[in-house]
């Protein structure tokens, strides 16, 4: 059923001068350029959580250590009015997902301490040591407080035999570290028994029939009861204001949830005695409905909805609202034609806040509950990555700009103020290239936008070697946020191009779906148009061009190499070559069939979009990289391209990182990859005599190997 609303977008953008005021002293005044090792100096600030009374904000800070070759996350707290930030958890162990109890007495978080599974821990706001609250055989993946602060809803995946064995051994006093290594060894020796359509996922591996379900945990008694069950994954739980019901997202409407993306919003009683045998289906939209949020009066549920399931990832995500018991739904942001996510009601229930993806930014939007004019609570050329709303109406937000890493801000009484200074010392040390948001024309006249970084200490009138960096996704974009890689390249005297070609989010559904079933066509034209734009402006040296990308950015890199010889070097990091060989090997079988159809039915289309079949045209020296256990875009794609290039006698190299998924986690591997990328570009693009391969350092042994 379609609903039509008249919606007017009111833009209230922060001007650059105001953004600079919010972040304090302007970046770019530091004494030195950014280095590879500075990646590990930048601390990642995220997940702001404001207390119900609006007085304090908890947040997470993640630090990558080369010395330990590990990444750890710590919970901090800062007054919402500004002031000294203090750590709440130990630096020596990772803690994440901070959540205040609604009565304001406690802060809970997730942590895997003493070699145990990830559990919920509790801190008294008045002081004291953290106490472990839950003790499950499996990891706690998510949790939320009940409104009366007496219960938690937990998201748990059904425990595996190994996890049950592990829990039993620990309960009988076995050494946790020995148990952990023993169970890992035994698990590696057991066969994977697969009978699902969707059977593999990055960072998990082969999937069995264990599913994620909801459990209610009583704080006082520490007793837990299961409230959903079945061959479905139940996620994103949200308590009703009276604490009697739980809304959640789940793909339960069709016989096989693996074969579709038809998630809906469901409601179950929090005291349900039959593990969810009796549920209320709130939404019936054939597209995905996720991220439920209750209105303060308990009558409505807001959520993120997709209206055109056949478009799959290319479909715009909107904010919808439905009666909590089910019924006629409304789509509140349809006329906006921009991606929307993370809905939350204002305390009075009159508005719904959401993150708005628009024109290379993410702002905090708000729309009336009944529909109407969309405005921006936080706007401007910046990146709102996360936010939380207190009962007082105050907001804590995680915000970055192109020249400053994320920090936490408070929006109180209409005034936006930065309240953390986590990366101030780092910013004061370095020179930063402030990205320029530019727009230019593509081959067919389409207006395209992107971010352009000039080299540090740029000299007007001088042409520089230039790196094109296609983005991943494909339905994603480059945003007004700080990133180490373009700064590192700018520090090494490159012009850096971050285009948002067709296929990108933030420019409307038609713009995104322009590459539907046509990868490497219009997005290729748009990427190349930014190169031509930089040359026309006198910035880029047309004889010293390089291209590098990750994920779909690597796929785009391969497309580019097969269509032009303009580039002196290429780096393809986690890309695909022959999609037919990826079918059933990566995690995208459902995506492929939605968009392309089965490869045995649409062979011509599958071959058309595969760079593999044009590899003989590639003469550009190409470095292929990837993680050994990446099931998102497996290393197979890089191996195939490398082997073909090698067979053709081209200049090429393949680097495979052991134990790494799609997104690298080991600091020494991240450092190695950055150094290899710089060396490859310097050797082939700058041709400055730098060896194409840096000196390699042997990695340290892990704890199980030492034993």
Q: Flag whether 202 is in a domain.
A: no
**Is-contact 111 96, C-beta < 8 A?**
yes
Tell me the sheet residues that pair with 62: 44, 73
Q: Flag whether 675 is in a domain.
A: yes
Q: What was the pLDDT predicted at 173?
A: 72
Q: What was the pLDDT predicted at 184?
A: 64
Q: What was the pLDDT predicted at 26?
A: 47
Rounded-to-integer distance, Cα 240 and Cα 228, Å = 16
Q: Flag whether 446 is in a domain.
A: yes
624 SS3 class:
strand
Tokens representing 620?
A: 């550009």
Number of domains in the chain: 1
List alpha helices for 106-215, DSSP H. 161-171, 176-189
Length of the chain: 707
pLDDT tens for residues 47-75?
Answer: 999 999 999 999 999 999 999 999 999 99
pLDDT tens for residues 521-556?
Answer: 999 999 999 999 999 999 999 999 999 999 999 999
> Does the bond joining 288 to the residue before it have cis omega, within 30 degrees of 0?
no
Q: What was the pLDDT predicted at 172?
A: 73
Q: Flag whether 459 is in a domain.
A: yes
Q: What was the pLDDT predicted at 181?
A: 67
What are the start-end ranges of the E strands in 551-595? 569-573
Cα Rg for the chain, rounded, in angstroms? 25
Q: Flag whether 652 is in a domain.
A: yes
Please classify residue 565 by burial: count the beta carbons closer than 10 Å to its beta carbon, then call 0-12 exposed, 13-18 middle and 19+ buried: exposed
Vertex 214 angle, CA 209 and 218, to 5°: 140
Q: Flag whether 361 is in a domain.
A: no
The CATH number covering residue 670 comes to 3.40.50.1820
**Is-contact 608 562, C-beta < 8 A?**
no
Q: What was the pLDDT predicted at 183?
A: 61
Q: Flag whether 508 is in a domain.
A: yes
Please classify residue 460 by burial: count the beta carbons closer than 10 Å to its beta carbon, then call 0-12 exposed, 13-18 middle and 19+ buried: exposed
- Could you list the residue range(s) of the whole structural domain that residue 445 is in? 433-703
Rounded-to-integer distance, Cα 571 and Cα 560, Å = 11
Torsion, Cα 668 559 618 485, to 10 degrees, reads -30
**DSSP-derived secondary structure letter, 506:** S
Q: What is the 3-state secondary structure (H, E, C) of 24-83?
A: CCCCCCCCEECCHHHHHCCCEEEEEEECCCCCEEEEEEEEEECCCCEEEEEEEEEECCCC
**DSSP-derived secondary structure letter, 9:** B
Q: What was the pLDDT predicted at 330?
A: 97
Give every residue of the chain whose pLDDT is below 50, as ranges: 1-18, 21, 25-29, 703, 705-707
Q: Flag whether 631 is in a domain.
A: yes
**Is-contact 433 455, C-beta < 8 A?**
yes
């Amino acid at each position: 059923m379609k609903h039509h609303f008249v919606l007017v977008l009111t833009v209230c953008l922060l001007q650059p001068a105001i953004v600079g005021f919010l972040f304090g002293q302007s970046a770019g005044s530091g004494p030195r350029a950014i280095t590879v090792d500075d990646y590990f100096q930048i601390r990642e600030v995220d997940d702001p959580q404001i207390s119900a009374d609006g007085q304090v904000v908890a947040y997470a800070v993640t630090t990558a250590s080369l010395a330990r070759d590990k990444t750890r996350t710590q919970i901090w707290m800062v007054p919402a009015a500004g002031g000294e930030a203090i750590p709440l958890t130990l630096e020596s162990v990772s803690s994440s997902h901070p959540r205040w109890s609604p009565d304001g007495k406690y802060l809970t978080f997730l942590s895997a301490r003493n070699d145990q599974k990830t559990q919920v821990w509790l801190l008294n706001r008045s002081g004291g040591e953290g106490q472990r609250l839950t003790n499950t055989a499996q990891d706690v993946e998510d949790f939320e407080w009940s409104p009366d602060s007496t219960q938690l809803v937990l998201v748990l995946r059904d425990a595996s035999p190994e996890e049950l064995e592990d829990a039993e051994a620990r309960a009988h006093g076995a050494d946790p570290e020995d148990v952990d290594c023993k169970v890992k060894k035994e698990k590696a020796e057991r066969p994977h028994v697969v009978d699902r359509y969707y059977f593999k996922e990055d960072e998990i591996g082969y999937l069995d029939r264990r599913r994620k379900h909801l459990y209610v945990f009583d704080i006082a008694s520490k007793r837990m009861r299961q409230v959903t069950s079945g061959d479905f994954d139940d996620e994103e739980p949200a308590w009703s204001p009276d604490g009697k019901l739980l809304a959640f997202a789940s793909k339960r409407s069709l016989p096989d949830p693996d074969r579709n993306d038809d998630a809906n919003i469901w409601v179950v009683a929090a005291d349900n005695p039959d593990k969810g045998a009796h549920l209320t289906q709130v939404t019936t939209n054939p597209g995905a409905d996720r991220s439920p949020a209750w209105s303060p009066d308990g009558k409505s549920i807001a959520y993120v909805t997709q209206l055109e399931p056949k478009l799959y990832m290319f479909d715009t995500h909107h904010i919808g609202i439905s009666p909590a018991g089910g019924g006629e739904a409304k789509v509140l942001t349809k006329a906006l034609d921009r991606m929307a996510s993370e809905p939350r009601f204002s305390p009075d229930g009159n508005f719904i806040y959401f993150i708005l993806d628009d024109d290379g930014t993410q702002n905090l939007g708000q729309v009336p509950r009944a529909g109407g004019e969309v405005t921006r609570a936080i706007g401007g050329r910046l990146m709102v990555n996360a936010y939380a709303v207190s009962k007082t109406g105050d907001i804590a937000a995680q915000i970055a700009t192109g020249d400053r890493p994320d920090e936490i801000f408070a929006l109180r009484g209409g005034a936006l103020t930065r309240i953390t200074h986590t990366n101030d010392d780092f910013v004061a040390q370095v020179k930063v290239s402030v990205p320029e948001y530019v727009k230019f024309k593509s081959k067919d006249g389409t207006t395209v936008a992107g971010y352009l970084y000039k080299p540090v200490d740029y000299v007007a009138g001088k042409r520089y070697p230039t790196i094109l960096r296609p983005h991943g996704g494909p339905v994603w974009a480059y945003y007004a946020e700080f990133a180490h890689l373009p700064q590192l390249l700018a520090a090494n005297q490159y012009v850096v191009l971050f285009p948002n070609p067709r296929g990108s989010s933030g420019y409307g559904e038609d713009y995104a779906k322009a590459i539907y079933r046509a990868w490497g066509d219009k997005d290729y034209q748009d990427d190349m148009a930014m190169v031509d734009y930089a040359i026309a402006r006198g910035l880029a040296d047309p004889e010293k061009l390089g291209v590098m990308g990750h994920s779909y950015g690597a796929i785009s890199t391969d497309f580019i190499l097969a269509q032009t010889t303009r580039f002196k070097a290429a780096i393809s990091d986690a890309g695909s070559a022959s999609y037919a060989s990826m079918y059933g090997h990566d995690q995208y079988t459902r995506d492929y069939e939605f968009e392309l159809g089965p490869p045995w039915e649409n062979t011509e289309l599958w071959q058309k979009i595969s760079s593999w079949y044009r590899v003989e045209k590639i003469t550009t020296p190409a470095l292929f990289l990837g993680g050994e256990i990446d099931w998102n875009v497996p290393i197979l794609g890089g191996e195939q391209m490398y082997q073909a290039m090698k067979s053709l006698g081209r200049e090429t190299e393949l680097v495979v990182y052991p134990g790494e998924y799609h997104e690298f986690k080991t600091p020494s591997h991240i450092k190695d990859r950055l150094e290899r990328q710089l060396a490859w570009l310097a050797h082939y693009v700058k041709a400055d005599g730098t060896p194409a391969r840096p000196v390699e350092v042997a990695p340290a042994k892990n704890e199980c190997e030492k034993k």
